[in-house]
Chains A and B, each alone.
Chain A
Amino acid sequence: MMKRRKFEWGYLLLIPGIGYIVFFVIASLYIMVAQSFGFYNYTGSSEFSLTFWQNVFTRTFFDDLWFSFRTALLTALVSIVICYPLSLLMQKIPGRKTFLSILKIPMFVPALVASFLIVNIIDYHGIINIVLVKLGFIEEPLRLRNDPAGIGALVVQIWKNVPFQMIIMYSAIEAVRKDVKDAAANLGANRFAILKEIILPITLPSALVAVIMVFIRTFNDFAISKTAGPYYPTSISNLMYLHAYTFGDWNTSACIGVMMMVTSIVFVSFYTYISKKIAD
């Protein structure tokens, strides 16, 4: 009897923290879905309607969705390709703690500031263009900021996300137990074999988390692609914002929001499934 009462009391304690989060997240989701079907309008009548869903799948929508998806995927993969070998190298270097602290700086730089810092470097008269012109590789400065291919936004994202993945991967590799590595070495495995057979499989789940986290952050991004990315296509977040505030079409904006969540969930499940298959 006593035990049972204590049990319930514990769940009550979850309300301030988890309850707050669940309430607002569910509320956002609910209003988003409801608005996509024509409810909760700021002005005019609110009634059930499918017209917004019929008209949301335009060329612009798919272009923007593809842009956000591509930028997110490239950022996550390029970052992990950069930071995995770097994390391996870092394990043995003297003064690695200091290096890691310095490397953490971009993580603490807000997205807008990061975007601005990198835009300065890659702009028409940024240092990269000046150096390339002085060295004679190019005659005219390249257009890297707001370029149609979205390289500017990609560079900013990679700059900000490499350190983030680095922290995760460094501690994951560091946590591989030494006795396991020693045992492998005693059994005659060379360095490459240890890496391939032991470190890689053990750290794969962390790499999975690192890639997913960066993918989601980048896919949801608004500020960076708005300031450093191309004018067309823009990010899917920006399209949602445009529909809501510039066109005053909140219902279509809600449809885009729902599609954004769906894409995110589908990708993450698919990716998790594939990675688990590879790990097995």
Chain B
Amino acid sequence: MNNYHVKSQKKLTRQLLKILLPFGLLSIIIVWIGVPILYALLWSFVNPEFPWSYPDPFPKNLSLFQWEYVFKYTTIVKSIGNSFLLAFVTTIVCFILALPTAYALGRRKLKGSEFFKIIMLLPMVFPGMAMGLFLGRMLHGMGVSGTYLGVVMVHTLVSLPYMLRILVVNFESMPQDLIDAASNLGAGNWVKFKEVYLPMILPGLVAGAMFTFITSMEEFNLTFIVGAPDITTIPTVLYSYLGENFLRTRASVVSLILLIPNLILLIVAERKIKTEYMGAALGKM
């Protein structure tokens, strides 16, 4: 009898836990992620006539002043344009460079392909600042420092591993019988590429493009060194408000500008991208 009682009580606690645990976790996640973003949002709407200072938990008055100021009087519009242009071009260059290599690594049984798969992670491991400084020295020697070409070159370097890894996984997972069937039906190389490979590459391309786009958008160290002084992107503008002279309200506006495209891409990624590509990009080795 007693034993039964204990057992049912245990069952009850477990059921209670099953309901409470998700809610507990949800509130932790909201505090962990929601509060910082909400705070930045509040800061970006602070009215400079009514400063928000220590004992007040919330700003006294909200206005659009900071947003208007940043868009009217700073270089942000040009930097946003630069960021998107660089990310777009970088993504295309990465795709063109990665496609043949990923095909070779994913579909051909090359000797030492495991070694090459590790080699392509090098830019992710090499210290960004060191690469910026000393690659910057070389690019300076080549005369491309401070030009779009130079920045695209370094952005491609840091984004390429993502595109490569995802496309390799993509090529590896293609069913061989489909390709064989196309060959048996007499398809030439071009037709095979257009009708068989290309449709199957598309999901990997979308996933890879997303990661290269994000990597390029948020790349700071190398842009900061190689792009200076002419090429400014959203991160370098943000750094100018966060570094030596800290301007919180303006920094919050720029932070949000940088955050929004990433969050949109994340939502798209969640819907469209298979988990295996996510894993490939995030370093499942």
Chain A residues proximal to chain B, CB less than 8 Å: 10-11, 13-18, 20-22, 24-25, 27-29, 31-32, 35, 40, 42, 89-90, 92-95, 99, 101-113, 115-118, 120-121, 124-127, 130, 141, 159, 164, 167-168, 171, 206, 209, 213, 216, 219-220, 222-223, 226-227, 237-238, 240-241, 244, 250, 253-254, 257, 260-261, 264
- For B104, give its contact among A10, A21, A93 (CB under 8 Å): A10
Which residues on B sit within 8 Å (CB–CB) of A95?
Answer: 22
Interchain CA distance A264-B34 in the complex, whole Å: 34
Q: Which 10 A-B residue pairings sit nearest by Cβ, starting from the closest?
A: A17-B101, A110-B218, A13-B104, A117-B36, A237-B129, A220-B127, A257-B130, A125-B54, A13-B100, A32-B134
Interface size of B in residues (CB-CB distance below 8 Å): 85
Interchain CA distance A184-B177 in the complex, whole Å: 38
With A16-B101, A167-B278 known, 7 other A-B pairs at CB within 8 A are A16-B100, A109-B262, A120-B39, A121-B35, A167-B282, A222-B128, A254-B133
Please state if B263 and A99 are interface contacts (CB–CB under 8 Å). Answer: no
User: How far is the CB of B39 from the nearest CB of chain A, in Å?
Assistant: 5
Please state if A110 and B127 are interface contacts (CB–CB under 8 Å). Answer: no
Please state if A13 and B101 are interface contacts (CB–CB under 8 Å). Answer: yes
A40 and chain B: residue at smallest CB distance? B137
Which residues on B sit within 8 Å (CB–CB) of A112?
Answer: 218, 220, 235, 238-239, 242, 255, 258
Please state if A18 and B138 are interface contacts (CB–CB under 8 Å). Answer: no
Please state if B282 and A28 are interface contacts (CB–CB under 8 Å). Answer: no
- For B122, give its contact among A13, A17, A25, A103 (CB under 8 Å): A25
Which residues on A sit within 8 Å (CB–CB) of B262?
Answer: 108-110
Which residues on A sit within 8 Å (CB–CB) of B125?
Answer: 216, 264
Please state if A28 and B130 are interface contacts (CB–CB under 8 Å). Answer: yes
- For A17, give its contact among B100, B138, B258 (CB under 8 Å): B100
B21 and chain A: residue at smallest CB distance? A93
26 residue pairs of the A-B complex, CB under 8 angstroms, read A10-B108, A14-B101, A14-B110, A16-B98, A16-B99, A16-B101, A27-B138, A28-B126, A28-B138, A42-B137, A89-B25, A93-B21, A99-B26, A103-B33, A109-B259, A110-B259, A113-B259, A120-B40, A120-B252, A125-B55, A167-B279, A209-B285, A213-B283, A237-B130, A260-B127, A261-B130
Interchain CA distance A206-B220 in the complex, whole Å: 28
Interchain CA distance A200-B56 in the complex, whole Å: 47
Please state if B123 and A21 are interface contacts (CB–CB under 8 Å). Answer: yes
B271 and chain A: residue at smallest CB distance? A101
The yes or no answer to B116 lying at the interface (CB within 8 A) is yes
Known: A35-B134, A168-B282. A124 touches B54 (CB 8 A): yes
User: How far is the CB of A189 from the nearest CB of chain B, in Å?
Assistant: 19
Please state if A171 and B275 are interface contacts (CB–CB under 8 Å). Answer: yes
Contact segment of B157-165, B180-188, B197-205: B157-165
- For B127, give its contact among A20, A22, A130, A237 (CB under 8 Å): A237
B36 and chain A: residue at smallest CB distance? A117
Which residues on B sit within 8 Å (CB–CB) of A130?
Answer: 55, 57
Which residues on B sit within 8 Å (CB–CB) of A261?
Answer: 126-127, 130
User: How far is the CB of B158 from the nearest CB of chain A, in Å?
Assistant: 10
Interchain CA distance A254-B137 in the complex, whole Å: 11
Interchain CA distance A17-B121 in the complex, whole Å: 11
Please state if B40 and A117 are interface contacts (CB–CB under 8 Å). Answer: yes
The yes or no answer to B102 lying at the interface (CB within 8 A) is yes
Please state if B120 and A21 are interface contacts (CB–CB under 8 Å). Answer: yes
- For A18, give its contact among B25, B54, B120, B153 (CB under 8 Å): B120
The yes or no answer to B77 lying at the interface (CB within 8 A) is no
Please state if B21 and A220 are interface contacts (CB–CB under 8 Å). Answer: no
A97 and chain B: residue at smallest CB distance? B270
